[in-house]
Amino acid sequence: MLETLFSFSLATLALALSPGPDNIYVLTQSLTNGVKSGIATTAGLISGCIVHTTLLAFGISAIITASETAFFLIKLLGALYLFYLAFKVYRSDAHIVIQETDDEAIKFQKKSYWALFKTGVIMNLVNPKVMLFFLAFFPAFIWEQEGNTAYQFYVLGITFMLVSFAVFSSIALLAGAISSYIKKYNSIGVILKWLQIVVFVGIGIFILL
């Protein structure tokens, strides 16, 4: 068991470090809003994995992916949600987001940590690629085929969440440290705004295709 979990942790570490929609989203949030916002986003993304683990443990993921209609609807819902987020960023004022000297403006424009957490959870849940990944990846690391598979899936799920949270939080810390420097330049607000839009639209297209 321990040997299997160690191998699974290494594989998860490699996957979490490789560029993907989730860690890029954490990166952009941390650059735009700081370390705490990045960690709140990370907590949301990771929390969604509990649902995916449960769906996998009880065979519901296999049923959903077997239905082309259900799977397409989930993909469409996920993409539309991300496009909606991109539109909200587009309508926002980039200069207000990064203006550090105006505390009231920051409070008006900046999302709460709870809002970022909820966005992370929803992004994770409406991304069918995560469901497919769990369905393809986790069964390969079952260490006792005749044992309680639900228990084993939950152990793997928790391990996956802990490793991913550590990696994504590290990304948030590094990006947050950089953000405190780049926010000294007012023009960077427009760049960060469009970076978020590109990330949201890009992830939405990625989900659809």
Instruction: Write the pLDDT tens digit of every residue in 102-118.
Output: 443 333 356 788 989 99
Is the model's pTM score more than 0.85?
no
Phi-psi sector, 70: left (phi>0), alpha (psi -120 to 50), beta: alpha
Q: What value does the mean pLDDT take over residues 31-50?
A: 90
Q: Are 130 and 48 in contact (CB under 8 A)?
A: yes
Answer yes or no: is 2 within a domain. Answer: no
Cα 42 from Cα 116, distance rounded (Å)? 9
Domain-located, residue 13: no
Helix residue ranges per DSSP H, 92-208: 94-98, 103-109, 113-125, 128-137, 149-182, 188-208
Tokens of 82: 């991300």
Q: How many domains does the chain fold into?
A: 1
| Residue-wise pLDDT tens digits, 67-114 | 778 777 777 877 787 788 788 777 765 543 444 434 433 333 567 889
pLDDT band (50, 70, 90) for residue 189:
low
Q: Is residue 20 part of a domain?
A: no
176 part of a folded domain = yes
Mean pLDDT of 29-56: 90
Express as a percent the part of the chain with pLDDT over 70. 81
Local structure of residue 112 (DSSP, 8 states): P
Domain of 96, in residue numbers = 34-208
Q: Is 120 part of a structural domain of the chain?
A: yes
What token pair was written down for 37? 């916002």
What's the average model confidence in pLDDT over 36-50? 93
Model pLDDT, residue 46: 94
Angle at 80 between CA 189 and CA 111, to 5 degrees: 40
Q: Is residue 16 part of a domain?
A: no
Contact 185, 64 (CB under 8 A): no
Query: Does residue 158 form part of some domain?
Result: yes
* pLDDT tens-digit map of 23-40: 888 888 888 788 898 999
What is d(CA 26, CA 176) in angstroms, rounded to the nearest whole number? 10
Instruction: Give pLDDT tens digits for 109-167.
Output: 567 889 899 989 988 888 777 877 788 778 878 888 777 888 889 999 999 999 999 99
The answer to the question of residue 68 being in a domain is yes
